[in-house]
Structure 1
Amino acid sequence: MRLVIARCSVDYVGRLEAHLPSADRLLLVKADGSVSVHADDRAYKPLNWMTPPCTLTETIDEDSDDAAYWVVENKKGEQLRITLEVVHSDLSYRLGDDPGLVKDGVEAHLQELLAEHIDTLGEGYTLVRREYPTAIGPVDILCKDECGGSVAVEVKRRGGIDGVEQLTRYLELLNRDSILAPVAGVFAAQEIKPQARTLAEDRGIRCVVLDYDALRGIESDELRLF
């Protein structure tokens, strides 16, 4: 990763044109080739950026030790043109491979907790198996409802349309099995996007919002009337 703090102006040339007047900014060049321009506010959001794949061409002004001109171009021909007037700092670090963010309440843990408390889905529900194998991948949870009917459950942290589509494919396959059929579907997540809920309900899939703290047996600290 390369971090350059410089007084610079920036022009974006592409589907539209945008200009950032001269000011002190942070230029961030990552190993994946991306380049972003940051001010000392706006939290993580850059003022302008170019995502990979793109190339960075750097021209040094021979009349000045500090001045330089960068052209960052993507495969569509769009360009980020950065004029560096004064470079205050130019540092490079090799960060290496990143293990990624480990979140409390990831899908695997949610799946495990829901399997342990399968009656969250309804009274009389019983677990058949976690990671039930199919030809197109494992179903998160296969269980039985109070009437003994098969139910396939897809578990997500944030439920979107892709998750509904995934569960739909599992249901189409499982319902070909005469031993399991008919198989109902439950889309379970900590948060379900409105579009995903609409699609799921249109396909006869029940949506269940999971309370992670409740599944872990932690009392919510929200104020209650009772």
Structure 2
Amino acid sequence: MKKKIIDQAVAVFNRKGISKTTLRDIARELAISDGHLRYYFKTKEELVHATFSEMEQEISALAAATGATSAFDVQTLVAPLTSVYRIMYRYVFFFSESTAILETFPKVYVAYEQLFQNRRQMFLALFEQYKREGVFEDKVEVHLFPLLFEQVFILSDSWVRYARLPQYGHLSQEEHIKHYVAVTVALLLPYFNADLRAQVSDWLKQAGSMPS
């Protein structure tokens, strides 16, 4: 039942927004009583925290797929990133209202801070692996990796909100995702070895421009 409540909450939060949604709204759509829902989630904060945790678990399950391999190519990077961005799109309410959510729900803020630290450790280890295995050029300086991580994190944390601006409303979800995967991959382009840089550059020519 918890999973069913979380799934319904995500749908209602996406449609109505966090501030305008009550637990009673979600219970009504599930055809259960408010008291029944509160048996599982006593407060809206508990439910928002649960939806955040659900999203994080889905993303974490895919994050390891970005690791370097002996057959690393552009699709090794693009495919898992595309899957992660699809998950993020399903939880659009969180990215559209992230500031208000983090200010309103301390539990979620703590979880978000922990996510940031976990992602930082993961990406720094990944970048060092890329350098060791030749995915990144040998001349790339390790002291740049924390800055690169922050660029990637800021972009990945904000692209959903930007994609939903009115001027991009005519585009499909997949068009949004493909474009912002390209924007993210472009951040890494200067770091790649020469062969991979040429391959990624060719892919970006096809995928990089936002459809008009």
TM-score (norm. length: structure 1): 0.24
Q: Which has the higher helix share?
A: 2
The structure that is strand-richer by fraction is 1
Structure possessing the higher relative contact order (Cα contacts under 8 Å, 6 or more residues apart): 2
Q: TM-score, normalised by structure 2?
A: 0.26
Decide which structure has the larger Cα Rg and report it: 1
